Amino acid sequence: MTKNAIVLGAGIVGVSTAIHLQRRGRQVTLIDRKDPGSETSFGNAGLIQREGVAPYGFPQQLGLLLRYALNNEIDAHYHLSALPSQLAFLARYWWNSNARRHAVITRAYAPLIENSVAEHKDLIEASQAQALIRKDGWIKIFRTEATRDEALAEAALWQSEFGVTYDSLTSADIARIEPDMTVRFAGGIRWRDPWSVLDPHALTSAYRRYFEGLGGRFVTGDAASLGQFGAGWKIMTGEGPLEADDAVLALGPWAAVATRRLGYSFPLGVKRGYHMHYAAEGNAVLNNWVLDAERGYLLAPMNRGIRLTTGAEFATLDAPKTPVQLDRAEAVARTIFPLGGRLDPEPWMGARPCTPDMMPVIGKAPRHQGLWFAFGHAHHGLTLGPVTGRVLAELITGETPFIDISAYSPQRFKP
C-alpha cells in the first residue's frame, strides 16, 4: 500500500520536501494556514547562495559589540524588552561563533551549500520556472580598502577550501557595471556561482504547482491540531481530519512552538527582517544584486521593483513591526542610487528561524516514530530548501542521503 505523508509548513523547505517525497512514491499532503510561500519564504534577498559556505556568526570583537549595543545600526537591531528571553540563545550563538568553533561548523555546513544550486536547478527545470532565474551571481561592494582586502582574503580561502568562484572588482569596475551608482566605492567582489530569483514567492508557487502536478495536494490546516493516532499521525484540516504514516514539521520560526507541544525543547531563536520595493528615478537601472557590505543592506532588481532588504532584528516572534532598520537603510541607499518612491503599502516583515550553532535541524524526531524535522535554516532558507527536501525524503523512505547529514541531527540538542 502507498504510504501517506503530511508536510506541515508550505515555505520553500516544506514545498521542496513534499516534492521529493511525492517523487519517491508517497502520497503527500502539504499543509499550511496560509498560501504556500507567504511567510518567511516571501521576503528574502532572492539569492541561492552557493558562496554562503560560512553561516552568519555573532560578532566577537568588543568594539563591534559596543557599536551594536547603541542600537542604531542597519544590519542589527534589538528590542530591549526581548533580550531577557533571548539571552540563553544569544550566549550559545556567541560561543559557537568563536573562530575555531565557527570553522568546524562551516566545514559541516558546507555540503548543504555546495549542492544548493544543483538541487534548485532540478526543481526549476521540472517546474518550468527558468524565467524567474538569473545566473550571473551577485556583487558585494566596499567603502574602505581595509574591509575590501579582508573580504578578498576570506574569498580566496573559501575558493581554495570550498570551490566557490569570484572576481575581484576595482572601483572602476563597479562604476562600469553599475553606471547609475552615485558613490565611488573602494572595490568589491562578484560571486560567480550563486543564482538570483526575480520573484521568490513566484518560485515557491511554481514548485507548489509542480508538486500538485505530481499528484500531491495542498490544504489549509493548523499545526496545533497535530497528534499521534495509532502508529501514525492525525491533523485537522480545512477538508476534515487527515491521517498519515509520517509527518514532517517544516514550520520555520514556528517550529519551536510546534515541537514544544510534542515535548521537545529546541533552542530556536528568530532574526526578523524587513523589505520594501522601490521604483528607480528617471532612467536609472540597477543591474545586479548589490550588498553595501559596510552598511548592512542589500538592493535587488526584482520583478516587483528594486527590493531593499535589511539585516537582523532581535525581537520576539509576535512583537509588532518596528521597521527602523528599513528607514535607516533607505536613507543610505538613496545616497548611492537614485531610488524613487515606495511601491508597497507597508514594509514586509518576516522571521528567520535560527539555531545557536547556525546549522538547520534535519532528521528524525528522537522520541516519536514517523515524525521528522526540517527547520532552523536562518538566512539560507531559500538557498537550502531543495537540498533539505531531498536529503530528508531520502531518509524517510529508507535511502542513504546523498550527503552526510549527521551534523544536522535533532539529537545534537538533546531535546
Which of 370, 373, 381, 378 minimizes the C-alpha distance to 405? 373
Per-residue pLDDT at 131: 98
Per-residue pLDDT at 408: 98
Per-residue pLDDT at 2: 75
Residues of the chain with pLDDT under 70: 1, 415
Per-residue pLDDT at 85: 92
* Residue linked to cell 573580504: 151
DSSP 252-266: GGGHHHHHHHTT---
What does the block give as the cell for 359? 546549522
169 vs 185: CA distance, rounded Å: 10
249 vs 376: CA distance, rounded Å: 11
120 vs 50: CA distance, rounded Å: 11
Per-residue pLDDT at 1: 59
Q: pLDDT digits over 121-148, tens only?
A: 999 999 999 999 999 999 999 999 999 9
Amino acid code (one letter) for 166: Y
30: β partners: 7, 218
The residue length of the chain stands at: 415
Per-residue pLDDT at 235: 97
DSSP 224-254: GG-EEETTEEEEEETTEEEEESEEEE--GGG
Which of 89, 408, 86, 415 minimizes the C-alpha distance to 263? 415
Q: By the 8 A CB rule, do 67 and 207 touch?
A: no
Q: pLDDT digits over 61-118, tens only?
A: 888 888 889 999 999 999 999 999 999 999 999 999 999 999 999 999 999 999 999 9
